[in-house]
Homo-oligomer: A and B are copies of this chain.
Amino acid sequence: MKERDELDRCDCNVIHEDVVNAVREKMPSEENLYDLAELFKVFGDTTRIKILWALAESEMCVCDIAVLLNMTQSAISHQLRILRQARLVKYRKEGKIVYYSLDDEHVKHIFDQGLIHINEKY
């Protein structure tokens, strides 16, 4: 049974079984919730937030970003890989130089929602 399975792990009694069942039915798939957490995890680092914010302002090469943030080029490059994998940034090559920019407008919208929350509370 489903219920018995859960009681193995949970060290307390079900208090509102009806609520639990109702919520369970409306929960998105495990995969969707995982993807969502993975996306926000990418936003959950100061360096990456700074990079995204900078790219929201202007296309920049790796070296520019490193100078702007006062960090090594290697550190920036590692973070850009993560941002690329999350499809948050895209790049174009021009000779030796690689220019990065935001992949879409979603980044700004996600920022906006985050800022609304931060600024509303004292």
Is A110 located at the chain interface by the 8 A CB criterion? yes
Q: How large is the interface on A (under 10, 10 to 19, 20 to 34, 35 or more residues)?
A: 35 or more
Q: What is the interface of chain A, defined by CB distance below 8 A to chain B?
A: 5-7, 9-16, 19-20, 22-24, 26-28, 32-46, 48-50, 53-54, 57-58, 60-64, 66-68, 70-74, 87-88, 97, 104, 106-107, 109-118, 120-121
Cross-chain contact of A36 among B19, B61, B73, B111 (Cβ < 8 A): B111
Residues of chain B with a CB closer than 8 A to A113's CB: 106, 109-110, 112-113
Question: Number of copies of this chain in the oligomer?
Answer: 2
Chain A interface main SS type: helix
CA distance A58 to B36 in the complex (A): 20
On chain B, the residues within 8 Å of A68 by CB distance are 20, 23-24, 27
Q: Quick check: B50 and A15 within 8 Å, CB to CB?
A: no
Q: Using Cβ atoms and an 8 Å threshold, which residues of chain B touch A44?
A: 37-38, 40-44
In this complex, what residue of B is CB-closest to A47? B37
CB–CB B115/A36 < 8 A: yes
